[in-house]
Amino acid sequence: MSKLDVEDFIQQNRAVAEQVEMYRGYWESNKHWDARREFILRNMNDFDNEQLDHLLSLSMVWANHVFLGCRYSTELLEKVKEMAEGIVVEDAPVFKTRDEIMKNQQGR
């Protein structure tokens, strides 16, 4: 589902789109929310109503990793990256680990 596909889906499924809008955090920029909303919309058919909180949590894990550089277990990151496959975040920040920063400083 590309960005255009997401917009088309939202236009054709207003009730679902309005429901998903309720999950936007007040702190989320448009860029952050657009990406997380796409994550939710792409994966919502794989989760039933009782699992919605789980999907929302996974969407936050993915967004926190992409936008804030948060680190999680390898297994969890692999799962959310697979779920987010195909989502393009333009100008996403690039984060370096402490080890990468230390290695660069030692090479000077």
pLDDT tens track for 58-77: 999 999 999 999 999 999 99
- How much is the mean pLDDT over the chain? 86
User: How many domains does the chain fold into?
Assistant: 1
Q: Which residue has the tokens 């949590």?
A: 57
Given a contact cutoff of 8 angstroms between Cβ atoms, the answer to whether 89 and 62 are in contact is no
pLDDT at residue 108, rounded to an integer? 62
Residue with the larger pLDDT of the pair 20 and 81 = 81
Q: Is the pLDDT of residue 99 over 90?
A: no
Give this prediction's pTM: 0.78
Q: Tell me which residue range forms the domain holding 35.
A: 3-106
Q: Which of 37-41, 45-49, 76-80 has the lowest mean pLDDT?
A: 45-49
